[in-house]
Amino acid sequence: MPSALYIFAAVAVSAAITWGLRALPFAALAPLRASRTVSYLSTRMPAGVMVILLVYCLRGTSLDRPAAAIAPVAALAATVVLHLWRRNALLSIMGGTCVSVVLASTLPFH
């Protein structure tokens, strides 16, 4: 069990680095804002960034262990289908998470 002091230190380190990464680039990148290349990047990036974060979330899912992949794959399918159907973020996230919890808690492979 970690001590409270260690927990505070880990949080302080994480917070300082995260804020630094978020704040410092504004000073470094300020002169680039007028550039056409930068505006091209900034309009194209959000969609790609979300796709990469999605793959990152699923990185533990492997086709080498198909039984353990059933819950996340089914839950992702449910999320996407729900979202294309109703386009309601709450419904898609809750629906997908429910499928994940039900399958991961009941299937014997988890």
Shortest Å, Cβ 65 to other proteins: 15
Say how many CA atoms lie within 13 Å of 20 toward its Cβ. Answer: 6
Per the rule left: phi > 0, alpha: psi between -120 and 50, beta: everything else, 109 is alpha
Grouping H, G, I as helix, E, B as strand and the rest as coil, residue 9 is helix
Q: For the CA atoms of 84, 89, 92, 98, what is the dihedral angle to 10 degrees?
A: 180
Q: Is 47 in the site for other proteins (CB under 8 A)?
A: yes
Closer of 32 and 67 to other proteins (Cβ): 32
Q: Does 5 engage in binding with other proteins (CB under 8 A)?
A: no
Please pick, from the candidates 7, 65, 67, 86, the single residue that binds other proteins as defined by CB under 8 A. 7
Site string for other proteins, 8-27 (x = CB under 8 A): xxxxxxxx-xxx-xxx-xx-
Specify whether the CB–CB gap between 96 and 79 falls below 8 A.
yes
In the complex, minimum distance from the CB of residue 36 to other proteins, in angstroms, rounded to a whole number: 9
- 83: nearest Cα among 41, 54, 46: 54
Q: In the complex, which residues of this chain contact other proteins (CB under 8 A)?
A: 1-2, 4, 6-15, 17-19, 21-23, 25-26, 28-29, 32-33, 37-59, 71-72, 75-76, 79-80, 83-84, 89-90, 92-94, 96-97, 100-105, 110
